[in-house]
Structure 1
C-alpha cells in the first residue's frame, strides 16, 4: 500500500485458470495491483475486509453463492469500490439486479480481453476525472458518466468481422493458451463455417492476437496451425 496512485484490484473467480489469465492481463496492461484472487464468496469477503480494493472483478456463479449478492452487502457499500461483473449469466434478471446494485459494468462470458480492456480503461478514466474535479455542472456530469475507452479498445472495424463471433474465436485460444489449433478444430468449437473461420483466424493473426505455426507431416501439404501469441 506504499504507492497511493496505484489502485488495488481483487479478482473473484472460481475458475483458477481464468482468474490467472485476468490477473496476468491486468498486471501487464495497467498500472493496477492485483491484491488477490478469491474462489468463493467467503474468501472474497475476507480479502475485501483486509485490503479494501478499489476495483472488483466479480464472477456470479461461485461455490458458496452468487456474486451479485455481494454487491449489496454493507461490506462493499461502505468502501469506495467499483464492480465489473463478469458472468456466464445472460438472463435479464441477473443483469438488471447487478446494474441496480451499482455495478460499473457487466461482461458476459466468454470474456473478450478487448471488452475487458475497454471496461477497465473507462473505469480508470472515470477515476482520473474525479480526482481532477472539485466542482461539476450537469453537462460535465453527463460527460463524466459516458467516458469512452481509448480508441484502441473499440470494436473491430474490419469488413466481415463481427465482435460477438470474434469473442468466441478468441476465447478458444484464451481457455487453452498452450495449445495449437487447426482451422477445423476452431470452427468445430465455435460452430461457424470453415470459410468464416479462416477469415476470423487471419484477422486475429493480423492483429497479433494469435500466431501461425506450420506442422510438417510425411504426406501432403504442411498444416497451418494457430496459437495464442506470446
Structure 2
C-alpha cells in the first residue's frame, strides 16, 4: 500500500477526552485521518453522509440512542466502511448483534491501547489485501479473516514517553496506593499539561502499573479515575 494513502475515520464517542485520545493515537500511529468526532447518533449520521469514512470507531451508549442502531442502517451499505465498536457494553446480546451486523471488531472499555493497536493493524492489513490481491488462496483468507486480534506487540510502544516524566507520574500512585486519581489531579500534582498527562496515564494502564475505575454520577458523563494496581 502506498505510504501516502490515508483513510478517513469518524469517531463516535460522547466522552470528549476519550475521543481525543483515540484520535491522537490513530493519527500518530497509522495512515488514518479523523475527519470528525460525533457525540450523538445525529451528529454521526451527518458526518458519515458528508465524509463516507473508510472506518468508524463506534461507542454504543450515546445520548440519543445506541451505536448498534447505526451499524444496522442501510447508509453504511452504500459505501465501503468498516466499524470497530469501542464500548462499555459487555453483554453478549449487544456483542452478538454487532458482530452479526458486520462489525470488524469489538473492544470493551476501559480500552487497552495494545488491543486497539492490534485491531487497527488488522484493519490496515485487510485494506492492503483488498487493494492489492486479486486472487487469494486459503492461507491468505485465513490471515485476512482469522488473524487473532490478541496478537498485540509484546511490549507497549514508548513513543512520546520520557523516563523522568514517567517516574514523576508513577510516584504519585506509589506514594498513594489506595487513592483514585483523576487526570486533572495528576497533572496538577506533577505539573504537566492535561494532554501529556493523559498519554502517560494510558501508558501506565497499558503496562499494568495502574488500573481504571469509571465513576458514574447522577449528572454528566462518567469520570475516568486511575488507581495503583496492587503488587499482591
Q: TM-score range by the shorter chain?
A: 0.5 to 0.7
Equivalent residue, structure 2, for 1:125 = 125
Judged with a 3 Å threshold, the aligned counterparts in structure 2 of structure 1 residues 209 and 5 are, in CA distance, closer, same or farther, namely farther
The reply on whether 1:134 has 2:126 as its aligned counterpart is no
Equivalent residue, structure 2, for 1:71 = 71
5+ unaligned residues in a row in structure 2: which ranges?
157-168, 182-200, 211-226
Note the C-alpha offset of 1:183. Answer: 2.3
Note the C-alpha offset of 1:114. Answer: 1.0
After superposition, residues 177-196 of structure 1 pair within 5 angstroms as 180-181=172-173, 182-185=176-179
Equivalent residue, structure 2, for 1:47 = 47
TM-score under structure 2 normalisation?
Answer: 0.66
Larger radius of gyration: 1
Q: Is the contact between residue 121 and residue 150 of structure 1 (CA under 8 Å) also seen in structure 2? A: no
Note the C-alpha offset of 1:83. Answer: 0.4
RMSD: 3.3
Note the C-alpha offset of 1:138. Answer: 3.7
TM-score under structure 1 normalisation?
Answer: 0.67
Judged with a 3 Å threshold, the aligned counterparts in structure 2 of structure 1 residues 83 and 27 are, in CA distance, closer, same or farther, namely same
CA distance in 2, matches of 1:19, 1:149: 21
CA distance in 2, matches of 1:50, 1:95: 28
5+ unaligned residues in a row in structure 1: which ranges?
157-176, 188-200, 211-224
Q: Is the contact between residue 126 and residue 147 of structure 1 (CA under 8 Å) also seen in structure 2? A: no
Number of aligned residue pairs: 175
Note the C-alpha offset of 1:37. Answer: 0.3
Note the C-alpha offset of 1:204. Answer: 4.7
Q: Secondary structure at the match of 2:127?
A: helix
CA distance in 2, matches of 1:206, 1:147: 22
